[in-house]
Structure 1
Amino acid sequence: MEEQKEHEFNKFIYYFNYDKGELPRIEHSKQTPQYLFKYYGFGKNNIEAFANSYLYASHPFELNDILDSSRFLFFTSKTIQFEDYEKFYFQEKKVFKTEKEFIQFYKDDIKNDCSEYLSHLYNVTSNYYGVISLSGKEDNVLMWPHYTQEKGFQVKFKTDDILKSISNLLGSYDRIIGLFPMNYTAKIQPIDVFKFRRFDIPLIYSTNVKLDSWEYEKEWRILISKPKMGIPFEKLGFSDIKNHDFEPKKRYTKYSIDAIDSICLGFNFFSGSDFINKLIGEKEIEVQPRKEIDQCDLYIQFLDFIIDTFSGKVYISGVKYETDLEGSPYLIRTKERVVISKLKESKYLIVRTGEIIKFNY
């Protein structure tokens, strides 16, 4: 392999100097936002993550776009030498039974553009990386419907605090590679691994480029490195490979609850299909999860948690009319702070405070 310490694409520079013992990094011109946002649909796994203060560092196979962090982003412009195959494969024991078998594998693979080598390279390196996706935009009109269906919730993190708390709670062999904005592009170009002595740059590049169709997300990612987090092969289409040492808990990434600035519930969180809602005052609403629904206990668990933990920091997403310069009305999104208290058993009281934050677009 050649020795190249950086790769430039679309005004982003992917840099790594192994000799200096540095972590790989991405240089860019975007300003780090003061706050980062996580949008959650309402479900058992999301409530468990929120209540237990952890973020999930996804393997690339678990992402919702097959081009995102894809293994097909690795290619080689030249034939990889036998010595490199030998060094890479024999770091792992029992891959081949005999040297003859290995030599035949090499001959076959170079005829196929080293595809098995690149696939194995991707699998080995991705076993040590995880992706935590966040948004840098609070008033994200598409994130609410796409990720919460307007029934979930949004968590507002203080950027410096979430990074510090994750770093403080990581294990001794774990690392935060960094917080990086996505590099949105009209065309996703693969990276030539032949140019690199190590594979840190190809890996961080693959996790950072995304089609500009996704730019509305304003995504920032925290890249986490942990030993042997596992590979969920069974999540691939037409895969007959069993998962490799994969347990979701290995990808849990703890943070301090103090890193949360506030939370915002979706506009339809207290829907009539899930709650009995009773207006008892101009700004007071009594709500009770319907006992007949499957998520009744989960709603109680969630509401009890935010009452105990986020008093004064809870909002509900809303809608408001504004008037333009010509006097015509138009709609904007808002959020209003509310106070939620428990009345008895599974009944709760929501009091609107009138403290409204407007989001103009």
Structure 2
Amino acid sequence: MAKLKFGNLTYISEKPYELNKGIRIEYETPIPVELHKFYSPSNYSFQAITESKFYCSHPYQFNDITDSNPLSFNFDNLSFEDYKPLFQNELNDEELKELYVKDKETKFSAFRNLHFSLITQKLGTICLTSDEMNNLMWGHYSSDSGFRIKFDTQKLLESINNINDLNCLIFPINYIEDKLHIDVNKLGFHLPLLVDISTKIKHWQYENEWRIVISKNDMNVPHSLITPHLIDYTGKDDRFIKYDPESILEIVFGMNFFNGTNVESIQSISNTENHITIKNKNLSDFLDFVSDNLQEKMVHAGLFIDDKESYFEGTAPIKRSIEKIEIKKIDKNIFSLIRTNPGVIRTNFN
């Protein structure tokens, strides 16, 4: 067994070499009872909810270039015997030796990039947060015109594993000063991978991120996102996994969710009810799903002036809040939005 403790996480590699079995991450931090995911107001986001599925991202699709990067793997001391298996089906021994010598001059960049491609075609990542009302999360991931989903963590994990026949790995992100270039010769192949997928630089600490990592045999690798001369690899398996919508505890519509991009018109019926005409079919289907399945779980985000506090004379802080709503379908693309408890808002969040 190989074992490495780094920060609050312990990385383990032993037989069987399978995700969340022999290859696993251990930690003392309790898994949050609830986890949250912020969504942008896109058709992909709407479909993800109506179809109860996650897209499990490839590292090239992350918004931080240092996050899960081929450079995390140091192959400087790679032996020819360890080098050979990756190319032996394509080249004879003489060609392999020539490639090995040439690749060694570039610190095995060809080997490193192919190795990264092969391992990441088997892995997909779902990024969540333990923080339900972070200003930066709203701004960066939904622009306050998207929405947030609160999940029951245990139900979510059980449904992902049961529906998709998986054994997913969940862990908190270990925030560090700099990402690491890790010697594979000293630590083996598995521990550097675990360290790489679970660490981010401290600038991202505000996200309070938890990751769910799943494994399939042959998923796509979007090479073209990093270089134009490489063709995307299309695997036999897609990057979607299903979950049970019963694991959703709450949906929070951003303050500006119903805006001119998606809404054709808003008609005021009363102080507590508006009729909204939707432009976008995917949004209409999304609201159909939400009104049928999440009726008791809907809230709308907003702002309020807390006149009970003051930073100095003549001031009052502006804070985030949420308020219960109902959404009911009236016609093909017309919905009623009702404030169910006007003036009753929640302002305390984790």
> What TM-score comes out, normalization by structure 1 length?
0.88
State the number of aligned residues: 342
- 1:262 matched to which residue of 2? 250
Aligned-CA RMSD value: 2.1
- 2:336 matched to which residue of 1? 349
- 1:179 matched to which residue of 2? 170
- 2:51 is aligned with 1:60: no
With over 3 angstroms needed to count, the CA separation of the structure-2 counterparts of 1:110 and 1:206, relative to structure 1, is same
- 2:222 matched to which residue of 1? 232
2:98 equivalent among 104, 108, 128:
104
- 2:85 matched to which residue of 1? 87
- 2:317 matched to which residue of 1? 330
Distance (whole Å) between structure 1 residues aligned to residue 349 and residue 331 of structure 2: 39
Contact 1:179 1:222 in 2 (8 A): yes
Name the aligned partner's letter for residue 122 of structure 1: F
1:94-113 Cα distance to aligned partner (Å, 9 max, x none) = x21x2211110111222322
Classify the secondary structure of the residue corresponding to 1:61.
helix
Distance (whole Å) between structure 2 residues aligned to residue 168 and residue 181 of structure 1: 22
Moved more, 81-90 or 103-112: 81-90
Classify the secondary structure of the residue corresponding to 1:228.
coil
> What displacement does 1:188 show?
1.5
- 1:17 matched to which residue of 2? 14
1:119-156 Cα distance to aligned partner (Å, 9 max, x none) = 22211111111111111111111111211111111111
Q: How does 1:262-301 map to 2 (within 5 A)?
A: 262-272=250-260, 274-289=263-278, 295-301=279-285
1:295-324 Cα distance to aligned partner (Å, 9 max, x none) = 522222121111111111111111112122
Classify the secondary structure of the residue corresponding to 2:251.
strand
2:136 equivalent among 138, 142, 152:
142
Distance (whole Å) between structure 2 residues aligned to residue 19 and residue 310 of structure 1: 41
Contact 2:47 2:282 in 1 (8 A): no
Contact 1:175 1:226 in 2 (8 A): no
Unmatched tracts of structure 1, length 5 or more: 290-294
Distance (whole Å) between structure 2 residues aligned to residue 155 and residue 278 of structure 1: 27
Name the aligned partner's letter for residue 315 of structure 1: V
Distance (whole Å) between structure 2 residues aligned to residue 73 and residue 159 of structure 1: 30
Classify the secondary structure of the residue corresponding to 1:312.
helix
> What displacement does 1:19 show?
5.8
Q: How does 1:155-166 map to 2 (within 5 A)?
A: 155-166=149-160
Contact 1:79 1:114 in 2 (8 A): no
With over 3 angstroms needed to count, the CA separation of the structure-2 counterparts of 1:158 and 1:257, relative to structure 1, is same
Identity in percent: 29
Contact 2:310 2:316 in 1 (8 A): no
Distance (whole Å) between structure 1 residues aligned to residue 164 and residue 117 of structure 2: 23
- 1:340 matched to which residue of 2? 327
Distance (whole Å) between structure 2 residues aligned to residue 275 and residue 356 of structure 1: 28
> What displacement does 1:360 show?
5.9
- 2:206 is aligned with 1:208: no
- 1:5 matched to which residue of 2? 2
- 1:131 matched to which residue of 2? 125
Distance (whole Å) between structure 1 residues aligned to residue 281 and residue 47 of structure 2: 13
With over 3 angstroms needed to count, the CA separation of the structure-2 counterparts of 1:196 and 1:88, relative to structure 1, is farther
Name the aligned partner's letter for residue 69 of structure 1: S
> What TM-score comes out, normalization by structure 2 length?
0.91
With over 3 angstroms needed to count, the CA separation of the structure-2 counterparts of 1:272 and 1:192, relative to structure 1, is same
Contact 2:37 2:150 in 1 (8 A): yes
Classify the secondary structure of the residue corresponding to 1:213.
helix
Contact 1:338 1:352 in 2 (8 A): yes
Classify the secondary structure of the residue corresponding to 2:78.
coil
Contact 1:73 1:189 in 2 (8 A): yes
Classify the secondary structure of the residue corresponding to 2:46.
helix
Q: How does 1:245-256 map to 2 (within 5 A)?
A: 245-246=234-235, 250-256=238-244
Classify the secondary structure of the residue corresponding to 1:142.
helix
